[in-house]
Amino acid sequence: MSYYDYVIVGSGIAGLYSALLAKNAGSVLILTKGSIEECNTRHAQGGIAAPIGKNDSPELHFQDTITAGAGLCDPEAVRILVEEAPDRIDDLIKFGVPFDTLDGEVALTREAAHSVPRILHAGGDATGEHIEVTLSRRVRESPVEVLEYCLATQILTDDGKVRGIRALDSRTGLTEEYECRFVILSTGGAGRLFKYTTNSEVATGDGIALAFQAGAEITDMEFFPFPPSALRLPGVSPFLISEAVRGEGGILRNVEGYQFMPDYALQAELAPRDVVARSILYEMRKTGSDRVFLDVTHVSPRRITTRFPHIYRFCLDHGLDITKGLIPVAPAAHYLMGGVRVNTWGQTSMPGLFAAGETACTGVHGANRLASNSLVEVVVFSKRIVERTQETDQAASISGPTGADYHSLSQREALETTSRFNLPNLQSLLWDKVGIVRSGQGLAEAADTLAAWQNSLPQPTDRPSYELGNMVLSARLMAEAGVLREESRGAHFRTDFPESSEGWQKHLVFRAINPV
């Protein structure tokens, strides 16, 4: 058994950035279930938001974030985000992230629902790749130990306090325990729960499942946004076509070539992303097609190739010149807004357990995330985690969110399910019943089926079987939260409750009755 000050699970921006700070405070081990660079971070395109522009201010960024969050942001967390963001950007620059510049200044672009240009980017639309490659190189040069292809399978506890991680080396099949003072969960999101997703294969909700099983609190699982436009080409996994493409004049057309968005919203293509995603879904149903088209053929080819070089190249590699032809697109699952509940220091409800990045829920995003606020959230709160671990008094003081509703996973009737349990069926179930447009009945059916599948799970033995178990548990938390929230708000839309309700301006928190 090995001992470290910090065991960090995951090697996306949250894991790598935390490790680079924590190495100055003690010994650090990163466990990651794939290669070091397999993660969602490297797929991030648009950029990272920070109020550093001439006409910008933390107050403006605060207001934009609160507005997007549809009444559920934690104002204290948002205040911290916008005030500390500029310093964290400086840190990334010092680590060597090559943000794009214009006339010697960091170049800023504007994205939907930001009132001014405030998005830093690198390599045009390859921001995540530059961040991931830069930080992973830094980590490799540092004393931080990295174990690749090591899957965390359990959070080890003693009297409710975290003492380490059990992990499976998926190359040897051997299990090992790593003891430590602090665990930082940085396991990313859960997009793989859905049939269509922009997420990397590693996004299977592991951190949520591990934390829940260990006894930590999970919150806001019903909020999962679906960006309107991911490439829909046979045999190609849904590749995100940035929403900024619509901002540059992209027009959405149905399979008959008709520009349909003005029929659904005054702002047409520039309507909020959830409105556009639902409109696309309705239009696909109306025309009996599994896609619509994004048209940028009227935009100057030079503008497209300089503003979106990564998207242009990716499509070209798949036989599609987007300056000349229409881009087939459809919505896809993208980002986990909920997660392991943390306070503004990244502390979970369990002493010794911290969570950072997409697997954590800091309360910054509320019910809907402002574009490009995710990467910045990661760096701001990861830094605070490492600061907190260096303080002498780390008593977990994570008070409940105002007016939170606490739940455990309800016992559901053991249902005779006709659908066989496997990954494609799980992903179809979530896509159909816990996806962009939900209903109470569909959510309850999904929750019943998932409970039945969970009961039938065999003992996990390898990475796929552990991941499947984690996905079923995360999916249950999502479906149950969706059943409970009888309203529509932000990224959660129900046909039987299409409006927001004041009584629901509160969070749903789940915790296990009998933690492992």
Ligand X SMILES: Cc1cc2nc3c(=O)[nH]c(=O)nc-3n(C[C@H](O)[C@H](O)[C@H](O)COP(=O)(O)OP(=O)(O)OC[C@H]3O[C@@H](n4cnc5c(N)ncnc54)[C@H](O)[C@@H]3O)c2cc1C
Catalytic residue numbers? 273
When the beta carbons of 191 and 442 are compared against ligand X, the nearer one is 191
Tell me: does residue 180 bind ligand X (CB under 6 A): no
Tell me: does residue 386 bind ligand X (CB under 6 A): no
Tell me: does residue 378 bind ligand X (CB under 6 A): yes
| Shortest distance, position 32 Cβ to ligand X, whole Å | 4
DSSP 213: H
When the beta carbons of 202 and 329 are compared against ligand X, the nearer one is 202
What Cα–Cα distance (Å) separates residue 505 from each residue in 62, 406, 488? 19, 14, 11
Tell which residue, 501, 499, 492, 366, has the closest CA to residue 437.
Answer: 492
Tell me: does residue 11 bind ligand X (CB under 6 A): yes
Only segment of 172-180, 266-274, 347-355, 372-380 that touches ligand X (CB under 6 A): 372-380
Only segment of 26-34, 255-263, 432-440, 482-490 that touches ligand X (CB under 6 A): 26-34
Beta bridge partners of 407: 510
Can you tell me which of 10, 215, 328, 442 binds ligand X, judged by CB under 6 A? Answer: 10
Tell me: does residue 44 bind ligand X (CB under 6 A): yes
Tell me: does residue 45 bind ligand X (CB under 6 A): yes
| Shortest distance, position 439 Cβ to ligand X, whole Å | 27
3-class secondary structure per residue, 260-315: CHHHHCCCHHHCCHHHHHHHHHHHHHHHCCCCEEEECCCCCHHHHHHHCHHHHHHH
Please report, as residue ranges, which positions from 116 to 135 form the binding site for ligand X (by CB under 6 A). 127-128
**DSSP per residue, 53-108:** STT--HHHHHHHHHHHTTT---HHHHHHHHHHHHHHHHHHHHHT----EETTEE-E
When the beta carbons of 11 and 449 are compared against ligand X, the nearer one is 11
Tell me: does residue 151 bind ligand X (CB under 6 A): yes
| Shortest distance, position 432 Cβ to ligand X, whole Å | 22
Number of residues interacting with ligand X: please give it, by CB under 6 A: 42
Tell me: does residue 442 bind ligand X (CB under 6 A): no
- A 10 A CB-CB count for 455 gives 11
**DSSP per residue, 339-402:** EEE--TTSB-SSTTEEE-GGGEE-SSSTTSPPTTHHHHHHHHHHHHHHHHHTSS------PPPT
**DSSP per residue, 151-163:** EEEEEEEETTEEE
| Shortest distance, position 92 Cβ to ligand X, whole Å | 12
Can you tell me which of 375, 379, 477, 491 binds ligand X, judged by CB under 6 A? Answer: 375
When the beta carbons of 113 and 446 are compared against ligand X, the nearer one is 113
When the beta carbons of 39 and 133 are compared against ligand X, the nearer one is 39
C-beta of residue 448 within 8 angstroms of C-beta of residue 472: no
| Shortest distance, position 493 Cβ to ligand X, whole Å | 21
SS3 113: coil
Measured in whole angstroms, the distance separating CA 29 from the mean position of its chain's CA atoms is 23
Only segment of 13-21, 85-93, 135-143, 386-394 that touches ligand X (CB under 6 A): 13-21
- A 10 A CB-CB count for 259 gives 13
DSSP 456: T
Tell me: does residue 374 bind ligand X (CB under 6 A): yes
| Shortest distance, position 352 Cβ to ligand X, whole Å | 18
- A 10 A CB-CB count for 203 gives 28
| Shortest distance, position 461 Cβ to ligand X, whole Å | 15
Tell me: does residue 474 bind ligand X (CB under 6 A): no
Residue 504 CA to residue 405 CA, distance in Å, equals: 10
Q: Which residues bind ligand X (CB under 6 A)?
A: 9-15, 31-34, 38-41, 43-48, 127-128, 151-152, 186-188, 198-199, 202-203, 206, 240, 335, 357-358, 372-375, 378
